[in-house]
Every structure is written in structure tokens, then in C-alpha cells.
Structure 1
């Protein structure tokens, strides 16, 4: 009960922060993405908690303005992609992860970005590499042609979760190739060697923002199977559940990692809500909900 009160007070603090955020136009665009206490992070935390409707309408308007008027709508892969005017040079350049999280927040809130900013959905579809994933490193498109699991999941989720009609042929291909990519990499493994790429991915993380963990990949495959009417990769999901065993309790999934770990590469100043919902060792109702959906669909497929 005390924990619930702490989270509620923390939500109220975040709402106050979002309500007091500078009016548009935002002169210093970098303030919106300031780690870890800028506009973007507060909104994303509420979104991942399923509390997107608590985001003040004024903050939603500011986020839309950032995407509409202060974001360069081209991924910077080469010299030709860079803006040439002084005004455009002042705009924010996005990566796939950041753009996808922004997109999911606003779509979940009820905005119709496919009508208002159609270039965003096309951005995701156009940047899938031949292996089925995406990569926020420009060199992947000019040299290696290899994807990053971290860069891949948010765009896949954006298309999978926020298409309230039949998928187009291009979208279906995008989602199917993304599923192939995850399956070929066994969710966390190098396709070449079979070794786990990053053992930190075996630790459930909340909130994730752009970060990856094995539970996130499993959740995508379960929803992809359902929405695309494709066979569930049961053996892979059972393996994933086994790899999560040390973080699974009778009452739910324990948080195993913080993406903003001050001892890690992404350390920085945080905010009260972020700290309240991310304590390592605590059962996360949000991760537990995802885990239960995976188990339910797996049991259904095996009966």
C-alpha cells in the first residue's frame, strides 16, 4: 500500500513537471531529451506504466510540436541526408529508437500521427536492413548492413501495436522480417556464434525506454504471432522463460536492471517516478503482466 502511495505521489510530481515545461517553441531542443529528467523521459515512463492519459495535454502538444517543427525528418546516413539551411541545422536529429518511442506515446494518447506526420511511419519501414532489423548507427547502412537488436524493437513495436487496420503488404513484410531477425538471433544470441550478445539482456528492465531485454523480445513475438496469425515459436519462448527463471517469483517478475544505472554508461540525474518504479529486486506489475501474457499464449499453443 505504501508503495502504491509513493508511486501515486511520484506520478503527481511528474505531471507537475510536464505542466510547467516551457511553452513552445522550445528554444533549446536538447532540453526535451535531457537525460534522465527531460520531457521525453517523463512521458515515456508514464506510457510504459499504462498511464499515458495522465500526461497533460499541454505536454502532448509540445511533443507534437517538437516532431512537427523541430525535428529533421531524415535519418542521417550520409552527407546528402544532412540539412543545408541554418533553420534546419537547428532541428533535432532522431534515431529509430527515440522516434519510435515518441510515436508510441503520442499514438497511445490518441493522436493520429499517421495523418498528421506520415513521414514517421515511413521512416521505420524504409530503414529495415536485409537481416530483418534496424540500426541507429549510420555505418550499418553504408558498410556492415548488420542490425542492432536494441535499435530494432521500438520501430517493430510501433508498427505492430499501433496499426488499427489490416497491415499493408509493406508493413506485414516489415513485421515478419523483424520476427525472423529475433528468432534467428534466439532473442539474445549472435547468429554467427550462438553466444549471448549481452548477458545484461537476461535481466528484466523497467522502464526500458530504448533499451532491450529478453522479455521485450518475447512479448513482440507473442503479439506478432497473434496479429499476423503466424505459428508461435514455442521452443524459443520456453527457452526464454527458462533464462528468466532467476527473476521469476510466484508473485511476478523482479526487476534485474536499471537502464540509467549511475555506475553504467547511461548514468545521470533522475526523477522521483523513474526511481519509484525501477528499484532492482522489486516485483514489477508491468513486467509481470507481459510475462503472464507470454505464458498464457505459450500454454494455449501447447494444449
Structure 2
């Protein structure tokens, strides 16, 4: 009960922050982007908690304004992609992860970005690499042609979770190729030697923002199989459940790491809501719901105890 009360109070603080600060669209996104206590992170945390409707409308309006007027709508790979006039040079250059998370927040809120800002979906769809994933490092598009699992998931989720119609042929290929990429990497493994790429990915993380963990990949594959009517990679999902076993309790799934860990590569200032829902060792109702959906999709014959 105390934890729930703490979260409720922290939500109120985030709402007040989003209502009261000129955090979006005022200084070329600097305050919005500031790790980890800028507006972007407050909004993304509420979205991941399933509380996107609590975001003040003024913040949603500000986020749309930022995307519309202060983001350079091209992923800069070659010299030809750079803005040329002084006004455009002042705009934010986004990566796939950042753009996809913004897109998911606004679409979940009820905005029609495919009508208002159609370039965002087009951006996500056009930057798939031959291996099926994406990479926020422009060099990958010039040299290695290899994707990053971290860069891949937010764009895939944006298209999968926020398309309320039949997928176009391009979208279907995008999702199917993304699923192939995850399956070939066994969610967390190198294709070359089958070793785990990053052991941190085996630890459930909440909220994730752009970060990856194995449950995030499993959740995508489960929903992809359902929406695309594709064969569920059962053995891979059971393997994933086994990897998560040490974090499972009777009451749910425990958090294994924090993306903003002060001792980690992304350490920085946080905010009360982020602290309230991300305690290492705490059972997360949000991650538990994701896990339960995976188990439910596997069906009674595959229930993993």
C-alpha cells in the first residue's frame, strides 16, 4: 500500500512538472532531452506504466510542436542529409529510438501522427538494414550494415503497437524482418558465436525508455505472432522464460537493473516517479503484466512454472 501511495504521489509530481514548466519546444529540446529528469522521460515513464492519458494536454501539444518545428526530419547519414539554412541547423537531430518513443507516447495518447506528421512513420520504415534491424549509428548504414538490438526495438514496437488497421505491404515486411532479426539473434545472442551480447539484457528493466532487455524482445515476438498470424517461436520464448527464472517470484517479476544506474554508462539525475517504479529487486506490476501476456500466449501446455 505504501508503495502504491508513493507511486501515486510521484505521478502527481510528474504531472505538475509537465504542466508547469516550459520544457518542450522552447530551447531546441534541450530541457526535454535532459537525462534523466527532462520532460521526455516523465512522459515516457507514464506511457510505459500505461498511464499516458495522465500526461497534461499542454505537454502533448508541446511535444507535437517540438516534432513539427524543431526536429530535422532526416536521419543524417551522408553529407547530403545535413540541413543547409541557419534555421534548420538549429533543429534537433533525432535517432530512431528517440523518435519512436515520442511517436508511441503521442499515438497512445490519441494523436494521429500519421496524418499530422507522416514523416515519422516513413523515417522508421525506411531505415531497416538488410539483417532486419535498425541502428542509430549512421556509420552502420555506410559500412557494417549491421543492426543494433537496442536501436531496433522501439521502431518495431511503434509500427506493431500503433497501427489500428491492416498493415501495408511495407509495414508487414518491416515487422516480419524485424522478427527474423530477433529470432536469429535468439533475443540476446551474437549470430556468430551464439554468446550473449550483453549480460545486462538478461535483467528485467523498468522503465526502459530506449533500453533493451530480453522480456522486451519476447513481448514483441508474442504480439507480432498474433497480429501477423505467424508461427510463435515457442522454444525461443521458453528459453527466454528460463533466463528470467531467477527474477520471478510468486507475486511477479522483479526488476533486475536500472537504465539510469548512477554506476552505469547512463547515470544521471532522476525524478521521483522514475525512482518510485524502478527499484532493483522490487516486483514490477508493469513487467509482470508483460510476462503474463507471454505465458498466456504460449498456452496452457507451455505454462512455465
TM bin, normalised by shorter chain, reads over 0.9
Say whether residues 1:174 and 2:174 are aligned partners: yes
Matched residue, 2:27:
27
CA separation in 1, counterparts of 2:253 and 2:131?
31
> What SS is found at the alignment partner of 1:244?
helix
The 5-angstrom pairing of residues 75-224 of structure 1 reads 75-224=75-224
The 3 A distance-change label for structure 1 pair 301 and 131 is farther
> What SS is found at the alignment partner of 1:144?
coil
CA contact (8 A) 2:202 2:243 kept: yes
CA RMSD of aligned residues (A): 1.1
CA contact (8 A) 1:44 1:105 kept: yes
1:106-157 Cα offsets, whole Å, 9 max, x none, are 0000000000000000001100000000000001000000000000000000
CA contact (8 A) 2:218 2:240 kept: yes
The 3 A distance-change label for structure 1 pair 170 and 301 is farther
1:202-240 Cα offsets, whole Å, 9 max, x none, are 000000000000000000000000000000000000000
The 3 A distance-change label for structure 1 pair 150 and 23 is closer
Shift of 1:24: 6.3
CA contact (8 A) 2:28 2:91 kept: no
CA contact (8 A) 1:150 1:211 kept: yes
CA contact (8 A) 2:23 2:32 kept: no
CA separation in 2, counterparts of 1:24 and 1:126?
27
| Structure 1: segments with no counterpart, 5+ residues | none
Matched residue, 1:15:
15
CA contact (8 A) 1:175 1:224 kept: yes
CA contact (8 A) 2:15 2:54 kept: yes
Shift of 1:30: 1.2
CA separation in 2, counterparts of 1:24 and 1:94?
15
CA separation in 2, counterparts of 1:275 and 1:186?
31
Shift of 1:25: 4.6
Give the TM-score normalised by the residue count of structure 1: 0.98
Shift of 1:29: 2.2
Matched residue, 2:251:
251
| Structure 2: segments with no counterpart, 5+ residues | none
CA separation in 2, counterparts of 1:180 and 1:301?
25
Say whether residues 1:286 and 2:283 are aligned partners: no
Shift of 1:301: 7.2
CA separation in 2, counterparts of 1:83 and 1:171?
28
CA contact (8 A) 1:33 1:39 kept: yes
The 3 A distance-change label for structure 1 pair 152 and 10 is same
User: How many equivalent residue pairs?
Assistant: 303
Shift of 1:27: 2.7
Shift of 1:22: 0.8
CA separation in 1, counterparts of 2:23 and 2:205?
32
CA separation in 2, counterparts of 1:182 and 1:69?
34
Shift of 1:248: 0.8
CA contact (8 A) 2:189 2:197 kept: yes
CA contact (8 A) 1:83 1:89 kept: yes
Shift of 1:190: 0.1
Give the TM-score normalised by the residue count of structure 2: 0.98
